[in-house]
Chains A and B, each alone.
Chain A
Amino acid sequence: MTSKEHSGGGSQLEELNGFTNPGLVEHVPRLSDGDPKADRVAERQVAAWFIASMIGTIWFIVSYFLFVPGESMSSIRLHNTSVGLGAALAMFSLGAGAVLWAKNLMSDHEGIDERHDISGSEEDQAVALEILHQAKEESGIARRPLLRNTLIAALAIAPLPAVLVFRDLGPLPGDMMFHTLWDKGVRLIRDPGGIPSADSERPIKAEDVTIGSAYHVLPSGIGADDGPDRPINEKAKAAVLLMRINPNELKEDPARKDWSHDGIVAYSKICTHVGCPVALYEHQTHHLLCPCHQSTFDVTEHCKVIFGPAKRPLPQLPITVDSEGYLVAQSDFAEPVGPTFWEINHP
């Protein structure tokens, strides 16, 4: 193709704002187009990339067997880096070679396609209409409203069973959201991470909780053999934070005065926003901060929300001490823990 051909190209040039489209700019030949030496250089360059790609592939295969990942992190890193760089060289060089081939050696003359109407020709449209009309006539769908309407009704309800069979995806909530493992007399034990078995439980004595300290707490029996089927589901509701604050810093509601023990207070750890664990306790300010969305709760005022997207205070676990001096719950939480849900006030 010569540049004269494309500037015309058979396409309509356009006029806009009084100017006429000047047509394609004259084609400028590349260095490799006229000079056989430059052409040869470009060719060798492409071949070099393809050879580099082969080296990369071989490098991958060799390091796959040579640097086997073992127990140490460094052996894993060496394996990953080595096979990865082999793959990177193999793939990138293949691409670089192909692109350079296209850019430097394949024809770079502009081609021109004409655009055509996206709609079919009038004849196409007429024939299509005729076919549709014929189909309508032959099926009788317009003449037989009884068939048409019963078909539509049948199709409309046919998917219902397909929806219904999903019913058993899960049980109905029932009262599950309103109860946790906490109950009268259940000891507070330390949360070691995971689920502690019954014989590894470490209950907490009130005297061990010094002012300013905070404990991550679970209910005793969560990992016992006769305990819950899915302890992790229970942990997701029953996790508690225990803190001791100078009693005269606590601004307690008279009705909840006996829910704490000598400045020791226990609150649900599950954020009332969307359920993240409210894990950050600021000792100086007695604020609890949720690391997910930064809801902030004031421990001295029954964990009311003082900042952030949560609305409800963290539920308080009423606690006391048993005869041996261990901290125990007085009862379950008085309200559901965790995120707000529709039935929250209608158990």
Chain B
Amino acid sequence: MSTTTQPTTTVGKAATFVESRVGASVLVREFGRKIFPAHWSFMLGEVALYSFVIVVLSGTFLTFFFHPAMGELHYEGPWVPLRGVEISEAYNSTLAISFEVRGGLFIRQMHHWGALLFVAALSIHMLRVFFTGAFRRPRELNWVVGVLLVMMGMAAGFTGYSLPDDLLSGNGLRIIDGILKSLPLVGTYISFFLFGGEFPGIDIVSRLYTLHIMIVPALLIALIGVHLVFVVVHKHTQYPGAGNTEKNVVGEPVMPTFAAKGGGFFFLIFGLLSFISALFTINPIWNYGPYDPSPVSAGTQPDWYIGWADGFLRIVPGWLEFYIAGWPISLNINSAVIIMGGVFGAMFIYPFFESWLLKDKREHHILDRPRNNPTRTAIGVAGIVFYCNMWAAASGDIVAVFFQMSLNDMIYIFRALFFLGPILAYFITKRMCLGLQRKDREIALHGRETAQIIRLPHGEFLERHEALPPHKLWKLTAFESPIYTPAEPNAEGKITGLEKFRARLSRFFFEDRVAPVSKHELEASHHEHDSAEGGGHKEIGY
């Protein structure tokens, strides 16, 4: 670096030392004033990132005390109810972390609560991205990375859940063993290789530990890195609004404002998780006892993000298992794998599907308001209903007890809603979006209701409407509404079968639409008012 000015202060000397060895000025120049748009919904991804950092920090602490081994010993610790009971080293060390390591229970609870928050924030962030169309070109690949992150988040959670070797986690593993064994042809082998022989064996905890503290977090960190690099490359999306265009990003600079807010937000999340971990018990393994294949507690629940898969396992009827010459096809169990694969598969392809359906290959940096893309919003809500129905089914027994209903009736309801729920949700949401769009149209065309009633000279009463300020009018009118595009011939002049299919889907999805107000319409509407209302019109703003 050039040494035109000799630094005199300590900070200046340190900066010169770093600069002449790292060349950090390039980075500061490039990123120091990079603009990030501010909106509460853009913080959801930050919540996920920060809770991940907290989970890594707390998890690292736990590794110093946890023994991932299944050798048996007799418990001799302070927890009286288990004294003398034969338990595994993993369970013993988890009890020691909880009761003997100072701050251990706090950090263990923070690790668990943080993991729950991590997956929750990932999921809600993903919904935000979906409903605002932030996955569109050029961000399709980052959406794919995001789906992988959700999958890895679930994997991290599940492998961790199984480590303490308590009764609940053992039963969770037993269910996994059953799911693996049901796989055609290879199931028994996969189960024997995973567990090192027959269930439960003595290997599973140490194997899951390797996955949980090395492989899955390494993948998560790599994917998060890619995810963030993409955010920098693409620059952030922004909501439609006055001054926001497809060619700019309006917001606050990284240094100092965004950095201060983001860094502060990290500590807010840290504080929140500390508060929860100080006051709310999670996974009290000392109450469950060590894993034993014979007992089980009624009303057991998996961690929330596994619930949808567990719920699906509960509502599938047993007759879906059948035999071909004695070889079983256990669709009553395999279908859970198929459903999970289908849900993630649908998420992977959605950006490409939507671009194909709309014949829209353009870049989009301005987000959609969810109502302005009724079809996508309806598909998303149908997906949420599909998911939540399965999720609720995982608590079907508890719900049935709470409402004093027959458990069997509950499951029949979940089965019916499995098919009907998403369909109803689709049509209801679409109609709601179209209704909201019509409301927006009304407001854009006729202005805001002022609640001022005016009596005209000939006795008629009118409510005064006030014209919208330009930035509000822009927000209500500046969007593109997806439209039915009929089948078009390709370069050879032929309309392919696929194109016909696309056109049919396009008609189904986009035939019903509310067109955005155009300037022309707005002017025509004003003109109409002018001519229709005669004398009093001058006082009536639009």
Contact = CB atoms under 8 A, between A and B. Distances in A.
Interface of A: 6-7, 9, 11-14, 16-19, 21-25, 64, 68-71, 76, 79-85, 87-99, 101-103, 106-108, 110-115, 118, 166, 169-173, 176-177, 191, 193-195, 216, 218, 230, 232-233, 235-237, 239, 269-271, 273-277, 279-280, 291-295, 305, 307-312, 338-346
B536 interface: no
A172 B235 contact: no
Contact of A108 (B252, B316, B411, B517): B252
Contacts of B397: 291, 294
A244 to B, nearest CB: 20
A29 to B, nearest CB: 16
Contacts of A102: 256-257, 260-261, 264
Contact of B245 (A11, A80, A311): A11
Nearest to A14: B245
Given A16-B477, A110-B251, A291 B199 contact: no
Q: Which of B100, B103, B290 has the most chain A CB within a 10 Å cutoff?
A: B103
A340 B182 contact: yes
Given A23-B242, A83-B278, A341 B182 contact: yes
Contacts of A169: 193-194, 196
A22 B518 CA distance: 15
Contacts of A311: 318-321, 330, 332
Contacts of B260: 98-99, 101-102, 106
A245 B80 CA distance: 39
Given A68-B102, A92-B274, A99-B265, A25 B242 contact: yes
Contacts of A68: 102
Contacts of A92: 267-268, 270-272, 274-275
B529 interface: no
A97 B86 CA distance: 50
A308 B333 CA distance: 12
B370 interface: no
A273 B333 CA distance: 8
Contacts of A346: 326-327
B390 to A, nearest CB: 13
Contacts of B189: 172-173
A292 B300 contact: yes
A237 B298 CA distance: 21
Interface of B: 33-35, 78, 80, 85-86, 98-100, 102-103, 105-106, 109, 138, 171, 174-175, 177-179, 181-189, 191-203, 233-235, 242-253, 256-257, 260-261, 263-272, 274-275, 277-279, 289-300, 310, 313-321, 323, 326-328, 330, 332-333, 363, 365, 396-397, 407-408, 411, 470-471, 473-474, 477-480, 516-520
B318 A87 contact: no
Given A17-B517, A110-B250, A194-B86, 7 more contacts: A14-B245, A87-B106, A90-B271, A111-B33, A113-B249, A273-B318, A276-B175
Nearest to B523: A18
Nearest to B326: A345
Contacts of A115: 235, 246-249, 365
Given A64-B102, A340-B182, A291 B296 contact: yes
B188 A173 contact: yes
A24 B35 CA distance: 15
B318 A342 contact: no
A112 B249 contact: yes
Contacts of B234: 118
Q: Which of A85, A88, A239, A279 has the most chain B CB within a 10 Å cutoff?
A: A88
A84 B178 CA distance: 39
A336 to B, nearest CB: 10
Nearest to B181: A341
Given A19-B478, A112-B250, A309 B317 contact: yes
A114 B181 CA distance: 55
Contacts of A194: 85-86, 290, 292
19 contacts: A23-B243, A68-B102, A69-B100, A80-B109, A81-B278, A92-B267, A96-B271, A98-B267, A101-B260, A102-B260, A113-B235, A118-B363, A233-B201, A239-B294, A273-B178, A276-B178, A277-B296, A294-B396, A345-B326
Given A11-B245, A235-B292, A339-B182, A172 B192 contact: yes
B248 A106 contact: no
Contact of A171 (B184, B197, B277, B321): B197
Contact of A193 (B174, B249, B292, B333): B292
Given A291-B300, A293-B313, A110 B78 contact: no
Contacts of B277: 80, 84
Contacts of A270: 293
Nearest to B207: A169
Nearest to B34: A113
A101 B470 CA distance: 32
B264 A96 contact: yes
B303 to A, nearest CB: 15
Nearest to A307: B408
A239 B86 CA distance: 18
A18 B523 CA distance: 11
Contact of A114 (B85, B86, B248, B519): B248
A341 B187 contact: yes
Q: Please provide the 5 A-B residue pairs with the shortest distance between their CB atoms, ordered closest to farther.
A: A84-B278, A92-B271, A274-B178, A18-B519, A98-B264
A309 B332 contact: yes
B271 A22 contact: no
Contact of B293 (A9, A12, A277): A277
A94 B264 contact: yes
A235 B292 CA distance: 8
A230 B202 contact: yes
B61 to A, nearest CB: 13
A298 to B, nearest CB: 13
A18 B518 contact: yes
Given A308-B318, A341-B188, A346-B327, A99 B251 contact: no
Contact of A195 (B86, B187, B263): B86
Contacts of B316: 309
Nearest to A233: B198
A239 B199 CA distance: 14
Contacts of A310: 318, 332
Nearest to B335: A309
Given A92-B268, A233-B197, A80 B294 contact: no
A1 to B, nearest CB: 11
Contacts of A280: 298
Contacts of B297: 291
Given A81-B278, A309-B333, A339 B178 contact: yes
B454 to A, nearest CB: 28
B407 A106 contact: no
B313 A309 contact: yes
B189 to A, nearest CB: 7
Q: Which of A81, A235, A344 has the most chain B CB within a 10 Å cutoff?
A: A344
A233 B243 contact: no
Contacts of A17: 477-478, 516-519
Nearest to A280: B298
B278 A98 contact: no
A274 B257 CA distance: 53
A274 B313 contact: yes
B288 to A, nearest CB: 12
Nearest to B331: A311
Nearest to B185: A342
A23 B471 CA distance: 8
Given A19-B478, A76-B105, A343 B264 contact: no
Contacts of B473: 19, 22
Contacts of A84: 106, 109, 274-275, 277-279
Nearest to B396: A294
Contacts of A341: 181-182, 187-188, 191, 328
A170 B195 contact: yes
A93 B248 contact: no
A235 B248 contact: no
